[in-house]
Amino acid sequence: MISKWLFSGALLLEAGSWTSLWVDVPEVQQLLVFTLTHGLACVMLCAAVWLLLPARYRSPLPWSPLFIFSMAFFVPVLGTVGVVAAIFPALYLPRKRDKQAWQAVGIPSLPYRAQQQLHKPIFADGGLQDVLRHAPDPDQRLAALLATRRMRGKEAVPILKLALGDPSDDVRLLAYSMLDKQESDINLHIQIALGQLNGAKGKAAGVLHGTLARWYWELAYLGLAQGSVLEHVLNQASEHAEQGLEAGEGGELFLLAGRIALERGDIARAEVLLQDAQDNGMGVAQILPFQAELAFEAGRYREIPGLLASLPEKTRQRPPFADLVRSWT
């Protein structure tokens, strides 16, 4: 709207400037009136055109409007016509552009870590141990430690213990913190169960004794306890397992008590407990591997092939039983 008024005013002033040349007055006065009205008309035209220009053509100031004003002021009529002829077609008849076959898009924001694990790690614990032993870059060894978070505790603990001797402080500290976290979590469960055991009686006490036996066994099974501490942990696991059995717990607890006795070297007690586990309905596939281990510890090697051959076919085909069956049968 403002541009229209400016154009109208510029047109009237320009017409008046040329009309002043035909008025019967002195030439100096004619020239002065013409110059003032023509200049004002050029200013209004310049303002109108400049407001219609796209933003990228309005700068730099003051050169952009000064160029338009100069064209209209110093080239009367032709300059004005030229400015209008150049601006209006460009504004109302824009150049046709070819249709783009592509579209520019911004870079999407990616998550910091994978939101879903689609595949299991392709490396085994032996591969991670090789990285810890031979990789020259500490970052690679740190990555190997972080990969153990997706492994079972029995497989991860030996790798973490190996990393405790790493020359890099960062690797050693990370391995120690991960081992300490596992041990602290188990000890926390033990403390909670011990607190609940105070005042518990009957069946509830039996369940808590079984829970404590499992957590103490977890410390030994994962290799988090060694030396005299391991002996103490196994004694505690055995004591709570026996008390749980006395309180009426059975089934899986018989098997656990048998494994604990086998680990302590009490072959006779382990044999009794494993038989009790079988009599209480535990599956043959769960008991036979430990009976084979018991026969090995007792020196009854002739029994081992028969025990391994009695395993279900699917069990005998998967590791680690596949290698054992081939070795003994």
pLDDT in tens, 135-145: 888 888 888 88
Q: Are residues 83 and 7 part of one domain?
A: yes
Q: Tell me whether residue 324 is in a domain.
A: no
In this prediction, residue 259 carries a pLDDT of 92
Mean pLDDT to the nearest integer, 136-155: 85
Q: Are residues 73 and 130 in the same domain?
A: no
- In this predicted structure, the answer to whether residue 124 has a pLDDT above a threshold of 60 is no
Q: Which residue has the higher pLDDT, 103 or 307?
A: 307
Cα gap 305→327, rounded to integer Å: 9
The answer as to whether 291 is a domain residue is no
24 or 203, which is more confident?
Answer: 203
pLDDT exceeds 90 at position 260: yes
Helices and strands in the chain: count of H runs, count of E runs:
16, 0
**Taking all residues of the chain, what is their mean pLDDT, rounded to a whole number?**
79
Query: In the chain, what percentage of residues exceed pLDDT 70?
Result: 68
Q: Does the pLDDT value for residue 8 go beyond 90?
A: no
Q: Alpha-carbon Rg of the chain, whole angstroms?
A: 46
Listed residue (17, 24, 20, 21) closest to 45, CA to CA: 17
Q: Once rounded to an integer, what is the mean pLDDT over residues 274-278?
A: 89
- Indicate if 12 and 83 belong to the same structural domain: yes
Inform me whether the pLDDT recorded for 198 exceeds 90. no
Residues 69 and 148 in one domain: no
State the pLDDT confidence band at 236, using cuts at 50, 70 and 90: very high
> Domain for residue 155, yes or no?
yes
Q: What is the pLDDT of residue 83?
A: 67
pLDDT of res. 267: 92
Do 203 and 267 fall into the same domain? yes
For 36-83, the pLDDT digits (tens) are 776 777 777 677 666 666 666 666 677 666 766 666 666 666 666 666
Domain that holds residue 25: 2-90
Does residue 112 surpass a pLDDT of 60? no
**Is the pLDDT confidence value at 148 over 70?**
yes
Q: How many domains does the chain have?
A: 3
Name the residue among 250, 212, 249, 252 with its Cα closest to residue 234: 212
The most confident of the ranges 12-21, 22-31, 57-66, 220-229 is 220-229
Q: Integer distance in angstroms from the first to the last C-alpha of the chain?
A: 101
> Which whole number is the average pLDDT over 245-253?
85
Q: What are the backbone dihedrals phi and psi of residue 144, each rounded to the nearest 5 degrees, phi first?
A: -65, -40
Q: d(Cα 137, Cα 279) in Å, to the nearest integer? A: 55
Residue 31 covered by a domain:
yes
More confident residue, 12 or 294: 294
Alpha-carbon distance values, 225 to 39, 90, 228, 297, 316 (Å): 99, 85, 8, 22, 31
Instruction: Mark whether 178 and 203 lie in a shared domain.
Output: no
Residue 315 lies in a domain: no
Residue 270 forms part of a structural domain: yes
CA-angle at 95, arms to 92 and 97, nearest 5°: 135
| pLDDT > 90: percent of the chain | 19
Residue environment code for 255-273, b if the CB has 16+ CB neighbours within 10 A, otherwise e? bbbbbbbbbbeebebbbeb
pLDDT number for residue 216:
93
> How far apart (Å, rounded) are the C-alpha atoms in residues 178 and 51?
68
Is pTM beyond 0.75? Reply is no
**Is 300 within the bounds of a domain?**
no
**Is residue 167 in a domain?**
yes
pLDDT (average), residues 243-256: 87
